[in-house]
Structure 1
Amino acid sequence: MKAQVILVNERDEETGLMEKMEAHEKGLLHRAFSVFIMNDNGEMLIHQRALDKYHSGGLWTNACCSHPMPGESVEAAAHRRLTEEMGFDCPLRELFQFTYRTEFDNGLIEHEYDHVWVGTYNGVINPDPGEVHAFRFLSVDELTRQLLATPGQFTSWFRLAFPKVIEHLRE
């Protein structure tokens, strides 16, 4: 069975289910999440998406992001994908939600109601090479400099969420 996403309205109320690629081809709003991980030095974990991902391959982004499965809570999905993609899990807390829409060169459209989570982790990272080409921790200042200098090296959702994450963490 092909992966499905949860279609939602602008209030994140479920309106149906759809096969993931079909939802991305049609640009329909669906539930998603993004996980940001910090370490005790105040550095953020970013990873370079696998080069052959269906969109945004080779771009740098937050620790992980994906879609909850039908019947799965967003929090459970965030923990599941963090373990699957980066090879670790840690306590997470939800910071905020936002909606965005991005059209890609390959004709796919991300139109997501994105739940943004944050956690702290200092241990071993063992990423799935099918998801992650490379990873590193960067200071917020260095990451901000890189985003300003080379925004095209980062995913669209990361460019949108990163400033809000930093704002929430400073509060």
Structure 2
Amino acid sequence: MEMRGVADPADEVLVVVDENDNVTGSARRGEVYARGLRHRCVFIEARDAEGRVFVHRRTPDKLVFPSRYDMFVGGVVAAGESYDDAALREAQEELGVSGLPRPVPLFKFLFDDGAGRTWWSAVYEVRCTTPVDPQREEVAWHDFLTDEELARRTTEWEWVPDGLDAYARLRAFRAAE
């Protein structure tokens, strides 16, 4: 199925991994989600020239967590792709920019929603000093928020659960630095 010239996301082939993040195979995204297969994702905190965080609301037709807010850009790691390459690809695609510096890796963790959905998550940061033009298929609304406003909004808006988990871990990571 084609959507505005873009292949159906359910057909994208993802890397499948074990509990230690070792590659065990690959499968189409639709199958990965339907069978609850462990896979890899990247979360990139994008800040503008003033240090504000890019925040967006996902489109209502997203396969996972539609219409929820997220303080990260990112997505799944494709079969044959590294975390680092996925982070750069996803950041440039979602922000709608080219020539972005390579995102800086910070840490990894295993996200588990308690309902059979788990994925290895690599968290990155990047500075985007050029104007953004977010991908319409991914982003319904966006803005750059200060750290204080973002912290306040986490209790007011409906957020993607994996993003909230990554955000809490990122705050703890930075507090320990």
Please give the range of the TM-score, normalised by the shorter of the 2 chains. Answer: 0.7 to 0.9
Q: 1:115 aligns with which of 94, 109, 122?
A: 122
Q: 1:163 aligns with which of 155, 159, 168?
A: 168
Detail structure 1 runs of 4+ shifted over 4 Å in the superposition. Answer: none
Q: Secondary structure at the match of 2:172?
A: helix
- The answer to whether the Cα contact below 8 Å between 1:91 and 1:120 also exists between their aligned partners in 2 is no
- The answer to whether the Cα contact below 8 Å between 1:63 and 1:82 also exists between their aligned partners in 2 is no
1:33-76: CA deviation from partner (whole Å, max 9, x where unpaired): 11111234332111111121122121111342212222111111
Q: Does 1:68 align with 2:73?
A: no
Q: Does 1:35 align with 2:35?
A: no
Q: Aligned-pair distance for 1:161?
A: 0.7
- The answer to whether the Cα contact below 8 Å between 1:47 and 1:136 also exists between their aligned partners in 2 is yes
Q: Aligned-pair distance for 1:10?
A: 1.8
Query: Where does 1:12-51 land on structure 2 (aligned, <5 Å)?
Result: 12-51=21-60
Aligned equivalent of 1:92: 103
TM (norm. structure 2) is 0.84
Matched residues in 2 for 1:63 and 1:130: separation? 16
Q: Secondary structure at the match of 2:155?
A: helix
Matched residues in 1 for 2:65 and 2:39: separation? 18
Gaps of 5+ in 1: none
1:16-47: CA deviation from partner (whole Å, max 9, x where unpaired): 11111111111111111111112343321111
1:131-169: CA deviation from partner (whole Å, max 9, x where unpaired): 11111111112111111234xx11011110112223334
Q: 1:59 to 1:138 in 2, by over 3 A?
A: same
Matched residues in 2 for 1:9 and 1:161: separation? 20
Q: Secondary structure at the match of 1:82?
A: helix
Query: Where does 1:46-61 land on structure 2 (aligned, <5 Å)?
Result: 46-61=55-70
Give me the CA root mean square deviation: 2.0
Match for 2:26: what amino acid?
Answer: L
Q: Which moved more, 1:140-149 or 1:10-19?
A: 140-149
Q: Which moved more, 1:5-14 or 1:36-45?
A: 36-45
Match for 1:91: what amino acid?
Answer: R
Residues paired across the two proteins, number? 165
Matched residues in 2 for 1:39 and 1:86: separation? 11
Match for 2:160: what amino acid?
Answer: T
